[in-house]
Each structure stands twice: as C-alpha cells, then as structure tokens.
Amino acid sequence: MYICKLCRKEFNNNISLSRHMSKTHHIKCDQFYVDYFLNGEWPLCKCGCGEKVKWARQLKGFRDYIAGHQSRVHNNWGHNKKAIEKSAETRRQQYASGERHVWNEGLTKENDERVKMNGMSTSNGFSKDRKKRYSEIMKRNRLDGTVPTLYKEKSSQWKGGVSEVNNIARSNKRLYNEWKYPILVRDGFKCVECGQVGPSLHIHHDKEKMCEIVKKHVIDEGIEMNFDLKKSIADKIVDYHIVNKVSGITLCGECHEKYHPSLNFD
C-alpha cells in the first residue's frame, strides 16, 4: 500500500501514486522518486564532481553520471600516469615542430565569435560554487600526481626564463628610485581611483604593458638564458622605463586587481 504524503490518499502500487503526484500535485517523476525511494537525497554523479545527475525515463531511474563524466572514471588511459606523461610529451613535441597549433592563436573576442563565446561561457556560465568545486578537483589532481605539474623546459609554455627576467627588473632599485617613486610623488602617495594611502601601493602600467616591454627586449624566447643574460636584459628593461618615461599610475592592491583579475596580489 502506497500513501500520498500530501493528501494521504492510498494507492495499490507506486506507478499509480506517481501518476497521482504528477497530475494532482504537479510533482515530477524525478522528485517523486527522490522523496519516496531515496529519503529526499538527490543522487550525485559517481565521478565525484558533486553535481546532481539527471532522471532517465527510459531507465526509469537516475543516471550514474553526468554526460561526459563517465570517462573520468572508466577509460583506457585517463588515470594512467605514464600514459598522461607520454601524451603531454607528444603534444609538446608537436607544438615545437609546428605540427600542432593553439586553435585561438592570434584571435581575439573582437575578431572571432568562438573566442568571444568561449570567454562568456567561462566567466559567466559557471556559478561560484561550481568554479570552487572544479578548482578543488584540479588542486587535488595536481597534489596526487594525476595531472603532473611541469616546470621550466618540461612545460609547453616555457620561454627560457622570461618570467624571471620580469621579476629581476621589477626588484631593481633604479626602477623604484627613478620610475616608481616619481609617479608616487606625482599622485600624492595615494590610489588614483579610491584615494587609499599606505605602504602597499602599486604602480600600474596603464598604457604600455610590462609584458609588452619584456617581449621587446627578449629577442628569442626559446633559448635557455643564464642568470647573467637575464640580469643584462632586466637592466635594459629598467633603462627603457626611465629613458622613455613609461606611463604608470598609482593603485592600491584592490584597484590593481581589477585590471589583473587573474593575478594574486596578496
């Protein structure tokens, strides 16, 4: 005997009760199944992503996985560390030889609809909770070695040590004394956007970006640079700032982050 929890009407089988819930109380079959057979707990995808699975009428029950997520658990090589490393090495070789190219190289949201739509789906399509879950999954995969972290020449994005050149230039005392400090004085040692004052103010390249200046001075990004070469290039970058009076403005950390949301200024 099955009893409706809302009106207490009795039925001989669950099919009759399900039809009654749908027609009388407008309760869909998936919610009915959850309420009467799963103790109110909606089943989650078995891959571990934490998302709710969908009801399948043909199965008369819930699916085990969200579409596409089954491959995260049941596949021929996805959890084989050696296969992942070999695949990554193959891709790096293909990029280096020119056999493989980044699909959106040279494209922007202004001249390509796919790039525009991809950016919109990435920034607006996910809720904060979903972004957080994906971030935690990726962090876990990095820590346990499922997704190997590649450093220096092992990374497909390795450019011979350009980021270190950037860091050496930024820490140069002459850059502060002859470029940053005059800008701080000009702006009254306060953020030009919110007026905040304090010791942790930043100088933001508001016209010519730092990365653009670095690229002008690093002629071949693919070569391996020793420290002396990196320091020599960094000195030239500092000279470029001072001689050309590169434009900059004073910002606090919070306002600066608005211009560089992907960077961590903490």
Q: Where are the domains of the chain?
A: 2-71, 79-154, 162-259
- Residue by residue, pLDDT tens for the chain (266 residues) are 788 888 888 888 888 888 888 889 888 888 888 888 888 889 998 888 888 998 887 777 888 888 878 777 766 555 566 777 788 788 888 888 888 888 888 888 888 888 877 766 555 556 677 778 888 888 888 888 777 776 666 665 555 557 788 889 989 999 999 999 999 999 999 999 999 988 889 999 998 988 889 888 876 555 567 888 889 989 999 999 999 999 999 999 889 888 876 555 54
Query: What is the C-alpha separation between 62 and 43, in angstroms, rounded?
Result: 7
Query: What is the C-alpha separation between 112 and 106, in angstroms, rounded?
Result: 10
pLDDT score, position 147: 75
Which amino acid would we find at residue 131? K
* Cα first-last separation, the chain: 62
**How many Cα neighbours within 13 Å face the side chain of 248?**
26
pLDDT score, position 244: 94
φ and ψ at 44, to 5 degrees?
Answer: -110, 160
Burial class (CB in 10 A: 0-12, 13-18, 19+), 128: exposed
Selection from 240, 165, 170 nearest residue 203 by Cα = 170
- 3-class secondary structure for the chain? CEECCCCCCEECCHHHHHHHHHHHHCCCHHHHHHHHHCCCCCCECCCCCCCECCEECCCCEECCCCCCCHHHCCCCCCCCHHHHHHHHHHHHHHHHHCCCCCCCCCCCCCCCHHHHHHHHHHHHCCCHHHHHHHHHHHHHHHHHCCCCCCCHHHCCCCCCCHHHHHHHHHCCHHHHHHHHHHHHHHCCCECCCCCCECCCCEEECCCCCHHHHHHHHCCCCCCCCCHHHHHHHHHHHHHHHHHHCCCCEEECHHHHHHHCCCCCCC
Query: Are the CB atoms for 47 and 65 separated by under 8 Å?
Result: yes
Selection from 168, 180, 181 nearest residue 229 by Cα = 168
Query: Are the CB atoms for 161 and 225 separated by under 8 Å?
Result: yes
pLDDT score, position 14: 83
Query: Are the CB atoms for 259 and 207 separated by under 8 Å?
Result: no
Query: Are the CB atoms for 18 and 30 separated by under 8 Å?
Result: no
